[in-house]
Structure 1
């Protein structure tokens, strides 16, 4: 009985975050829509500045739950710049939590509002979120042969022309690495071997297209590339090996007590511009990631295992920075739901906001 109660309580840890994060989405979209209408005749830079601030409010609520609520210990290796920069953020991709890790680093530079993502095309159909991410600067791309760089170049160039601050997040592997997906891993390794590239063990062979288009379109606007390698510690099995990284639900249920983040800043001038040279450079960066991960997981020296090389810093995000967002969005949502007209507006936003967002993508296509 006691064990059942403990397991039930444990499994419900994600309920409060889920209710508030999803439940406040209509509230946020209504606030953004109001600002979008009011700013129609104002300078675009003013609209973007306030939109970035609104985005900070929502994402700080996300970070409250994924950092403060979970109590995850974040160990940061490398010197994360304190100042805001225009960057392309490249990282290994294992979990849906990887998107939140980018927020974690950006928040530590006061650049949370500048985070924009290169996303899989199918994610644009997400209710409310899919539409809004596109409005905030997200770029949806199709894979492989269907990848069309024209729209991506056009959108990025418009941001450069407008002087929009950019913290552009790209996962070059294109899909999440999962050690149990043996066919995917074998295909990725075979692809590398056929082209004379190093075969990678703990990451997939990176794809160059989105990274090259982003760099080529934004090079005059960029300060650096952020090369980030992430390990979710705390999911060891009895054999000493790691199971798959946690999903968002598992992370919120505290199945990852420690997060290791290896950070490397690469100046824009050190990145080759020609696509074939950049392809080689990007693969070399993933070779470095792979070596870091092999040493982390498999080093024969116990002193070097379960950590990245170099000194780590235990990085904490103050609850004073994140809790106000929870209170603001939570209170506004609660007030809306207290009245019949508010509930109708809330449900209408979910329904018609989703339908209009999908229609927008259909017309745009």
Structure 2
């Protein structure tokens, strides 16, 4: 089976993987509560979010499909993910940007990739997780190191998110400032991730989420105009940290509010956002049926296995030459 599916969009091909289509189809029918400002129309945006688990990746798809922008979602990814079987190559070809941390960060390479996307007039829904890694309560050292770094730099110490890194965000905004419509500042919280002592637990895995072990996902969206974001990196760093301070306050209210009636929700108006089946079921049935039909025959199974084996080898070779 071809690992990606091409869908026409205004004379351009928007590539979706079966993973995106099928998982989005399943998750979109779960209990999703949206707060804040999510425009109905598609836009070219940078999407900044806190990061806790694999489901965070699909949250971007869930929001994009509500703007008829599914297929426009691209990610800034850790460099090691380019070796994922098939998907490492897929993300690279779909406009994803692989980056290394700290001193190994290649600013020139990232700018060149983004400029190539703009030159091709590629729709842009670029997802960045500025924390650089997941917030995991089961690895307290990462959280402690993040807080120590913030204290050393004279920044506010954050409880429910990690200290954000600014490089990828700055390069993305600076490179595409004349191409973007806005920046979406997204805060995600999962119900059921606090134990009986009120301590944060690990966010749900994809399997747990699909099995509805997480009752609801809450998504707070703040749409920010480009003119309200400082251009120089030193000032953008302060701005980004302030945005994460806002996230932290939202999450403190969500998890730790003294008034139990204020827990498990963000402040302000909210809507239970459930997609109609016609937006998701056709993709699920088509790709599920295509996969099943292949796996039911011996020749189909052989082709399926060969696609993964040889596709992975060719993909790894490709991204090692042209990331």
Shorter-chain TM-score: which interval?
Answer: over 0.9
1:334-345 matches, cutoff 5 A:
334-345=292-303
- Distance in 2, Cα, partners of 1:245 & 1:98: 10
- Distance in 2, Cα, partners of 1:27 & 1:364: 21
**2:272 is the alignment partner of 1:314:** yes
Give the drift of 1:339.
4.1
1:32-47 matches, cutoff 5 A:
46=11
CA contact (8 A) 1:60 1:321 kept: no
Question: 1:27 — aligned with what?
Answer: 2
Secondary structure in 2 aligned to 1:297?
Answer: helix
**2:105 is the alignment partner of 1:144:** no
Change (3 A) 1:306 1:330: closer
- Distance in 2, Cα, partners of 1:280 & 1:236: 30
- Distance in 1, Cα, partners of 2:224 & 2:156: 21
- Distance in 2, Cα, partners of 1:264 & 1:238: 31
Secondary structure in 2 aligned to 1:27?
Answer: coil
Question: 2:126 — aligned with what?
Answer: 168
CA contact (8 A) 2:188 2:220 kept: yes
TM-score, reference length from structure 1: 0.84
- Distance in 2, Cα, partners of 1:364 & 1:77: 40
Question: 1:64 — aligned with what?
Answer: 25
1:78-93 matches, cutoff 5 A:
78-93=36-51
CA contact (8 A) 1:230 1:261 kept: yes
TM-score, reference length from structure 2: 0.94
Question: 1:229 — aligned with what?
Answer: 187
- Structure richer in helix, relative to its length: 1
- Distance in 2, Cα, partners of 1:342 & 1:323: 24
CA contact (8 A) 1:192 1:198 kept: yes
- Distance in 2, Cα, partners of 1:292 & 1:306: 10
Of 297, 303, 309, 2:261 maps to: 303
1:173-196 deviations in Å (ceiling 9; x for gaps): 000011232211111111111111
- Distance in 2, Cα, partners of 1:360 & 1:162: 21
CA contact (8 A) 1:27 1:333 kept: no
